[in-house]
Amino acid sequence: MDKINVFWHRRDLRVADNAGLYYSLNDNLPVVPIFIFDTHILDKLDDKKDARVQFILHELRKINDSYKKHSSGLIVFNSTPEEAFDDLIKRFEVNAVFCNRDYEPYGKERDEHIRQKLAKENIDFLDFKDHVIFEKREILTDNNEPYKVFTPYKNKWLEKLSKNGLEELNSQALLDNLLEYDAPRLPTLKDIGFEESPIEIPENEIEKNVIGNYKDDRDYPSKNGTSRLGIHLRFGTRSIRDAVKSARIHSDVWLSELIWRDFYAMVLSNHPSVVDNAFKPKYDSIPWQNNEDHFEKWCEGKTGYPIVDAGMRELNATGYMHNRVRMVVASFLTKHLLIDWRWGERYFAKKLLDFELASNNGGWQWAAGTGTDAQPYFRVFNPSSQQDKFDKEMRYTKKWVPEINTNKYPSPIVEHKKARERAINTYKEAVS
132-167+207-270 CATH, one of 3.50.50.60, 1.25.40.80, 3.40.50.300, 1.10.10.60: 1.25.40.80
CATH topology of domain 273-431: DNA Cyclobutane Dipyrimidine Photolyase, subunit A; domain 3 (1.10.579)
Give bridge partners of residue 125 from the DSSP assignment. Answer: 97
Q: What pLDDT was estimated at residue 211? A: 87
What is the distance between the alpha carbons of residues 344 and 414, in angstroms, rounded to a whole number? 18
CA atoms within 13 A on the CB side of 95: 13
What is the distance between the alpha carbons of residues 308 and 384, in angstroms, rounded to a whole number? 10
Nearest to 312 by CA among 389, 304, 302, 403: 302
Planar angle of CA 93, 18, 238, nearest 5 degrees: 140
| Contact in structure between 64 and 189 (CB atoms under 8 Å) | no
What is the distance between the alpha carbons of residues 55 and 201, in angstroms, rounded to a whole number? 8
What is the distance between the alpha carbons of residues 393 and 188, in angstroms, rounded to a whole number? 45
Q: Which amino acid is at 225?
A: G
Q: Could you give the 3-state DSSP secondary structure of residue 124?
A: strand
CATH superfamily ID and name for 1-130: HUPs (3.40.50.620)
Q: What pLDDT was estimated at residue 377? A: 83
> How many beta carbons lie within 10 A of that of residue 319, not counting itself?
24
Cα maximum dimension of the chain: 74
Full-prediction pTM beyond 0.75? yes
Nearest to 373 by CA among 154, 86, 54: 154
> b or e along 396-409 (b: 16 or more beta carbons within 10 Å of the residue's beta carbon)?
bbbebbeeeeeeee
Catalytic center residues: 257, 260, 288, 323, 341, 364
> How many beta carbons lie within 10 A of that of residue 376, not counting itself?
9
Q: In 27-121, which ranges are continuous DSSP H helix?
A: 39-42, 51-68, 81-91, 105-119
What is the distance between the alpha carbons of residues 50 and 404, in angstroms, rounded to a whole number? 30
| Contact in structure between 242 and 254 (CB atoms under 8 Å) | no
Q: Which amino acid is at 238?
A: R
What is the distance between the alpha carbons of residues 15 and 178, in angstroms, rounded to a whole number? 12
Q: What pLDDT was estimated at residue 329? A: 98
Tens-of-pLDDT digits for all 432 residues of the chain?
A: 799 999 999 999 999 999 999 999 999 999 999 999 999 999 999 999 999 999 999 999 999 999 999 999 999 999 999 999 999 999 999 999 999 999 999 999 999 999 999 999 999 999 999 999 999 999 999 999 999 999 999 999 999 999 999 999 999 999 999 999 998 899 999 999 999 999 999 999 988 889 889 999 999 999 999 999 999 999 999 999 999 999 999 999 999 999 999 999 999 999 999 999 999 999 999 999 999 999 999 999 999 999 999 999 999 999 999 999 999 999 999 999 999 999 999 999 999 999 999 999 999 999 999 999 777 888 899 999 999 999 999 999 999 999 999 999 999 999 999 999 999 999 999 988
Q: What pLDDT was estimated at residue 259? A: 98
Helix, strand, coil % (nearest 5) of the chain? 50, 10, 40
> How many beta carbons lie within 10 A of that of residue 305, not counting itself?
27
What is the distance between the alpha carbons of residues 131 and 11, in angstroms, rounded to a whole number? 8
Nearest to 239 by CA among 420, 50, 15, 406: 15
Is the dihedral angle over the CA atoms 291, 295, 301, 306 positive or is it negative? Answer: positive
Same fold, 1-130 and 273-431: no
What is the distance between the alpha carbons of residues 342 and 409, in angstroms, rounded to a whole number? 28
Q: What pLDDT was estimated at residue 432? A: 83
Nearest to 109 by CA among 135, 88, 80, 84: 80
Domain ranges of the chain: 1-130, 132-167+207-270, 273-431
Q: What pLDDT was estimated at residue 376? A: 81
Give bridge partners of residue 124 from the DSSP assignment. Answer: 96
